[in-house]
């Protein structure tokens, strides 16, 4: 059974710091630049945050395939995730009108973070592609499940760099970009939960996997609570409009459907094949609903006019 979560400022502060790195950042250290409308700050933060999610969706899906869970559907998700990761990463560096990122990146520190992420991504991409093509080996699965953390860490380092760079009180304020980042991180956490829950009971499980899963669940729930109600002392505002409020309630409802299965996994129960598929698909629905909310936050952050 999961431990009870106390939604205190300290809990959310720790939750945010563990996976985001910017929630309690000192705004005096932000890089203030003259932003042109085509810089699309809110879209850059949204998409860079999506790379975090994809870094966890890929190992989650690879694990499901290795366990025989919804193999056909998971294979399609794996191919799509690889393609999207490449497209977003290229857009952040070179621009991509299809993704509404018009200008290429020019800031040296940001480019360094992008190149670091690309270097970590490449071996994972190769192994994941083999799995998606049906030619993957156990070694490829091992690469994806063991090296995804480095890709996630590199993606996590990129996001605050972009927030610092593109935050501008006269265009897109820090508090609005923060909401995009934290809500975007929730997408990633659904897939990190999916990955860790899938690993439990396989040869890839380690002594700390159950504790990792429980911590990830706690972070997701603490952050969702903060998004739903706001936490001004940490710079987190309540939902800026009714659509976002409703969207967050939908995420909570979907999460409540899948949580009992996660509790069974943490309790040491071996789920039947139908339950494994229900857990996998349920977390994907939660992620999809959260993704819609992130888009709403991005729209709400767009400069007027």
Q: 225-240: buried (b, 16+ CB within 10 Å) or exposed (e) per residue?
A: bbbeebbeebbbeebb
Query: What SS3 class is residue 133?
Result: coil
Strand partners, 277: none
Query: What SS3 class is residue 130?
Result: helix
The H or E element that residue 86 is part of is helix 71-94
> Tens of pLDDT along the chain (305 residues)?
443 333 344 444 445 444 444 443 343 343 334 344 446 888 898 899 999 999 999 999 999 999 999 999 999 999 999 999 999 999 999 999 999 998 999 999 999 999 999 999 999 999 999 999 999 999 999 999 999 999 999 999 998 888 888 877 666 677 888 888 899 999 999 999 999 999 999 999 999 999 999 999 999 999 999 999 998 887 788 999 999 999 999 999 999 999 999 999 999 999 999 999 999 999 999 999 999 999 999 898 887 65
Phi, psi dihedral angles at 236 (to 5 degrees): -95, 120
Strand partners, 101: 96
Strand partners, 231: 236
Q: What global pTM score does this model have?
A: 0.87
**251: buried, middle or exposed (CB in 10 Å: 19+, 13-18, 0-12)?**
buried
């Amino acid at each position: 059974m999961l431990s009870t979560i106390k939604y205190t400022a300290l809990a959310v502060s720790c939750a945010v710091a563990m996976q985001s790195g910017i929630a309690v950042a000192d705004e005096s250290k932000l890089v203030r630049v003259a932003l042109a409308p085509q810089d699309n700050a809110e879209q850059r933060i949204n998409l860079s945050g999506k790379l975090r999610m994809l870094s966890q969706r890929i190992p989650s899906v690879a694990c499901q395939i290795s366990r025989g869970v919804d193999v056909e559907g998971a294979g399609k998700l794996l191919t799509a995730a690889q393609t999207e990761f490449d497209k977003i990463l290229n857009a952040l560096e070179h621009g991509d009108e299809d993704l509404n990122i018009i200008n290429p990146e020019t800031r040296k520190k940001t480019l360094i973070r992008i190149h670091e992420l690309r270097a970590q991504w490449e071996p994972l991409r190769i192994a994941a592609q083999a799995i998606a093509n049906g030619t993957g080996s156990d070694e490829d699965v091992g690469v994806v499940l063991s090296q995804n953390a480095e890709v996630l860490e590199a993606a996590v380092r990129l996001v605050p760099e972009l927030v610092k760079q593109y935050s501008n009180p006269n265009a897109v304020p820090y508090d609005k970009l923060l909401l995009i980042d934290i809500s975007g991180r929730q997408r990633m956490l659904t897939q990190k939960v999916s990955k860790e829950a899938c690993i439990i009971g396989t040869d890839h499980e380690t002594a700390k996997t159950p504790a990792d899963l429980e911590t990830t669940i706690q972070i997701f729930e603490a952050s969702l609570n903060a998004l739903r109600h706001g936490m001004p002392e940490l710079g987190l505002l309540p939902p800026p409009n009714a659509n976002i409020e409703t969207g967050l309630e939908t995420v909570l409802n979907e999460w409540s459907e899948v949580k009992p299965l996660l509790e069974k996994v943490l309790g040491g129960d071996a789920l039947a094949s139908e339950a494994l598929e229900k857990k996998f698909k349920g977390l994907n629905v939660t992620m999809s609903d959260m993704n819609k909310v992130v888009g709403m936050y991005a729209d709400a952050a767009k400069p007027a006019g």
